[in-house]
Amino acid sequence: MLGIFSLSVSAQTNDKVKEDFQASSVNQPGREFPKVNAEGRVRVCIEAPQAHKVQLDIGGVKYDLEKNEEGVWTGESAPQDEGFHYYQLNIDGASVPDPGSKYYYGAGRWGSGIEIPAHDMGFYAMKDVAHCSITENIYFSEITKDWRRNFVYLPPRYFENSEKRYPVLYLQHGSYEDETGWASQGHTNLILDNLIASGKAKKMIVVMDNGYAYKPEAMQIAKNGYPKSSFEEVLIEEVIPNIDKKFRTKSSREDRAIAGLSMGANQTMRIIMNNLDLFAYYGGFSGTSNYPGNEKIDPETFLNGAFNDADKVNEKLKVLWLGLGTREPEVFFKTVGDFREMAEKKGINYTFYESPETAHEWLTWRRCLHQYAQLLFK
Amino acid sequence: MLGIFSLSVSAQTNDKVKEDFQASSVNQPGREFPKVNAEGRVRVCIEAPQAHKVQLDIGGVKYDLEKNEEGVWTGESAPQDEGFHYYQLNIDGASVPDPGSKYYYGAGRWGSGIEIPAHDMGFYAMKDVAHCSITENIYFSEITKDWRRNFVYLPPRYFENSEKRYPVLYLQHGSYEDETGWASQGHTNLILDNLIASGKAKKMIVVMDNGYAYKPEAMQIAKNGYPKSSFEEVLIEEVIPNIDKKFRTKSSREDRAIAGLSMGANQTMRIIMNNLDLFAYYGGFSGTSNYPGNEKIDPETFLNGAFNDADKVNEKLKVLWLGLGTREPEVFFKTVGDFREMAEKKGINYTFYESPETAHEWLTWRRCLHQYAQLLFK
């Protein structure tokens, strides 16, 4: 996440920087910078001859860069966590994308991203295996009265095997993100391709839609607050029927899973518990529907008592899966912890996974998908 | 194109600016700026309180912005041509993307783009018609020894009509662009969807691959010059067989077309004339294989005499189509003009189209595709 409150640090205080920097794997073609070293420091470089002050803004900290005689500014961050981070440059007070990086949608904007190579990056590496197709589909929603879009992962050989039908995972992004995230910085394509090639996951279709959906009248009413979301309605009444019509899906509840990250975990827990006739698998990555979790969960009232009958929940949910990064902000531990406490008291079966040394960021969610997908449709 | 040599102009010299600016249609979600007015001026706005000088760099001209008391810089360009333009901001000497716009690959970088509404924009507008799916496909090239990618337009109802087969157009980008351009700023999806819905074009598959393809040894040899392109080999030996295997194509030469813009026009004219057994339709948008056209074309030697036998060319090429924007740089008029002169002398049939008041930019190429696609597979 981009920090709203940011420290300012001089890059020069980073003594003993290891000089083994290499170009980031998500640089624009032919760009030398940004670079990453073995410690996970990010070094940026930009020509700005007339600037007073240039900073690298990453992980909630602003690092001052140094200017050389040619007007080129360079500097590096402290070591960052493994995985993917959004960042930006600050040039004399202007926050802008780094012209060296590729751009991603997150934190409410298209902006720079960088990849700190992870020790387990092989599970989302490009390998010599059969690959999927990602399809981009636009549709008009009669509920929101606007054009919407989803990306759909079609497993390897979908086009060649013209008879075979597949189960479907509906996979949602988080707040200030959109339908592009999972198939881009999320690496859904490579994670599933690799799992399928190694026989660890079943071939499946994955639908990545946009979790923001509002009726026109909701936008009017909401001028003084948050509009009422119609995402559940759009997903249940429009997206699922469209997907089942367009693609060769299996459409029983045992062949349909749902998962989401952060806001998406919250939305999808509510959706599955309201629609147990439609889904049999739930994955909550860094969140549950009790977020921000200021009170203990009362199972008699939480989601209209959906978790109050443990036998029914255990029978209906073939997988109830929760994942969290060990470096996430406290609020996520509290939210997920409260849910786990409730589930244990009630005797509700669930699986809990911790992503080592990652925060509320994409490496946590890549790992969650990697774990969760292996449990589906078996 | 981004100008390498740029004029610098004070934004304040633009007197009598029409104050009917509206947010650009390709802004990031929720962003008010950049804006465009009815004259086609682009107004940008960025907070940079400590900056000395901020400029808008568009159409080869840099326009100085003005700072207000809050440290916010604003200013506008002279009127721009209708259509799509790349641009950037310059903050104290740093050339960076505008954080308000969406980003596109062109001019050798991911950067800002803006849309000046065109009088004929309806042909690439989102309409209530049946829509395509764009699929993203990755493949390993045994020729270049690396992973490559293409985007494939599948016409409306491709998935639902599981028996129907379609003809294929191979459509190439220009220099310093990539395989993303045609399906993004090129609007291939909307142009074809609208043409198909109105019955003006046949349903077809469109393959958009990357025109840069080099063998590893070519990169070694090329340290002192341009590497030898292997794109023709990749297209003929890998892409076409893969597409014909994966998708429900018709694979006779009468069901296969090729076209490209600028560098892509050059490449694809050579490819079709080397492979008349594979293609029956050629489209050259802002270019031909004689670019940069310093000498008149000698049909006995040009492309190994491929145009020397007019009867054969007229029999084999069901469509030989050339298009050009009326505001393109002189070199493109000369190149295409020389080709036309040769074709007329030889009695070779061709169609020539001029895009009114557009330069070497995407509105020219959108219009070319719109015209050309109507002639295919009929």
Nearest C-alpha in A relative to B88: A99
Which of B32, B89, B101, B136 is the best mutation test for A, with the most CBs of A within 10 A? B136
pLDDT in tens, B363-374: 999 999 999 999
Exposure string for B314-351, b = 16+ CB within 10 A, e = fewer: eebbbbbbbbbbeebeeebeebbbbbbebbeebebebe
What is the widest separation between alpha-carbon atoms in chain A? 71
Q: Please list every residue in chain B whose beta carbon sits closer than 8 Å to the beta carbon of residue A108.
A: 29-30
Position with higher pLDDT, A377 vs A9: A377
Q: Check residue A29 and give its pLDDT.
A: 96
B125 touches B197 (CB < 8 A): no
* Dihedrals phi, psi of A104, to nearest 5 degrees: -135, 155
Q: Own/partner pairs for A140-147, CB < 8 Å, 24+ apart? A: A140/B128, A141/A213, A141/A234, A141/A238, A142/A238, A143/A213, A143/A215, A143/A230, A143/A233, A143/A234, A143/A237, A143/A238, A144/A213, A144/A214, A144/A215, A144/A216, A144/A230, A144/A234, A145/A215, A145/A216, A147/B126
Above 80 in pLDDT, residue A4? no
Q: Which positions ≥6 away from B18 have C-beta within 8 Å?
A: B37, B38, B39, B41
pLDDT in tens, A285-302: 999 999 887 789 999 999
Above 60 in pLDDT, residue A331? yes
Q: Check residue B15 and give its pLDDT.
A: 66
Residue A8 pLDDT class (50, 70, 90 cuts)? low
Q: Check residue B1 and give its pLDDT.
A: 42
Q: Please list every residue in chain B whose beta carbon sits closer than 8 Å to the beta carbon of residue A102.
A: 110
Quote the CA–CA distance of B179 and A281 in Å, as a whole number: 37
Above 80 in pLDDT, residue B326? yes
Q: Which positions ≥6 away from B36 have C-beta within 8 Å?
A: B21, B22, B24, B42, B43, B114, B115, B116, B117
Q: Please list every residue in chain A whose beta carbon sits closer than 8 Å to the beta carbon of residue B135.
A: 133-136, 154
Question: Distance (Å) from the C-alpha of residue A52 to the closest C-alpha of chain B?
Answer: 7
Nearest C-alpha in A relative to B148: A126
**Do the two domains B7-117 and B122-373 of this chain adopt the same fold?**
no
Cβ distance B92 to A50 less than 8 Å, yes or no, reads yes
Lowest mean pLDDT across A194-208, A214-228, A255-269, B135-149:
A214-228
Q: Check residue A221 and give its pLDDT.
A: 78
Nearest C-alpha in A relative to B101: A110
Q: Check residue B295 and give its pLDDT.
A: 85
Angle at the Cα of B288 from the Cα atoms of B286 and B293, rounded to 5 degrees? 100
Q: Check residue A3 and give its pLDDT.
A: 43
Q: Check residue B293 and give its pLDDT.
A: 76
Above 60 in pLDDT, residue B14? no
pLDDT in tens, A338-359: 999 999 999 999 999 999 999 9
Q: Check residue A141 and give its pLDDT.
A: 98
Above 50 in pLDDT, residue B260? yes
Quote the CA–CA distance of B65 and B63 in Å, as a whole number: 6
Above 60 in pLDDT, residue A62? yes
pLDDT in tens, B221-233: 776 678 999 999 9
Cβ distance A94 to B136 less than 8 Å, yes or no, reads no
Residue A206 pLDDT class (50, 70, 90 cuts)? very high
Cβ distance A93 to B137 less than 8 Å, yes or no, reads no
Q: Please list every residue in chain A whose beta carbon sits closer than 8 Å to the beta carbon of residue B247.
A: 159
Q: Measure CB to CB from residue A138 to each of B53, B97, B131 and give the nearest one.
A: B131
Q: Which of A334, A340, A341 is nearest to A353 (CA)?
A: A340
pLDDT in tens, B176-222: 999 999 999 999 999 999 999 999 999 999 999 999 999 999 877 77
Above 90 in pLDDT, residue B272? yes
Quote the CA–CA distance of A81 and A361 in Å, as a whole number: 10
Quote the CA–CA distance of A205 and A247 in Å, as a whole number: 9
pLDDT in tens, A108-120: 999 999 999 999 9
Q: Please list every residue in chain A whose beta carbon sits closer than 8 Å to the beta carbon of residue B53.
A: 50
**A362-373 helix and A188-197 helix, angle to the nearest 10 degrees:** 30
Cβ distance A134 to B136 less than 8 Å, yes or no, reads yes
Cβ distance A109 to B89 less than 8 Å, yes or no, reads no
Any idea where the domains of chain B sit in the sequence? 7-117, 122-373
Q: Check residue A223 and give its pLDDT.
A: 67
Q: Check residue A219 and give its pLDDT.
A: 79
Q: Return the CATH fold of B122-373.
A: Rossmann fold (3.40.50)
CATH code of the region A7-117: 2.60.40.10
Q: Check residue B7 and give its pLDDT.
A: 58
Cβ distance A133 to B137 less than 8 Å, yes or no, reads yes
Q: Please list every residue in chain A whose beta carbon sits closer than 8 Å to the beta carbon of residue B54.
A: 94
Cβ distance A137 to B137 less than 8 Å, yes or no, reads no
Percent of chain B's residues with pLDDT above 70: 96
Q: Measure CB to CB from residue B53 to each of A50, A111, A247 and give the nearest one.
A: A50
Question: How many A×B Cβ pairs under 8 Å?
Answer: 132
Q: Check residue B162 and give its pLDDT.
A: 86
Q: Check residue A7 and give its pLDDT.
A: 58
Q: Please list every residue in chain B whose beta carbon sits closer than 8 Å to the beta carbon of residue A147.
A: 126
Above 80 in pLDDT, residue A15? no
pLDDT in tens, A120-179: 999 999 999 999 999 999 999 999 999 999 999 999 999 998 899 999 999 999 999 999
What value does the mean pLDDT take over residues A214-218? 92
- Mean pLDDT of chain A, nearest integer: 95
Above 60 in pLDDT, residue A11? no
Q: Check residue A224 and give its pLDDT.
A: 66
* Dihedrals phi, psi of A321, to nearest 5 degrees: -125, 130
Which of B26, B92, B212 is the best mutation test for A, with the most CBs of A within 10 A? B92
Residue A299 CB: number of other CB atoms within 10 A?
18
Which amino acid type is present at position A314?
N
Q: Measure CB to CB from residue A47 to each of B54, B94, B131 and give the nearest one.
A: B94
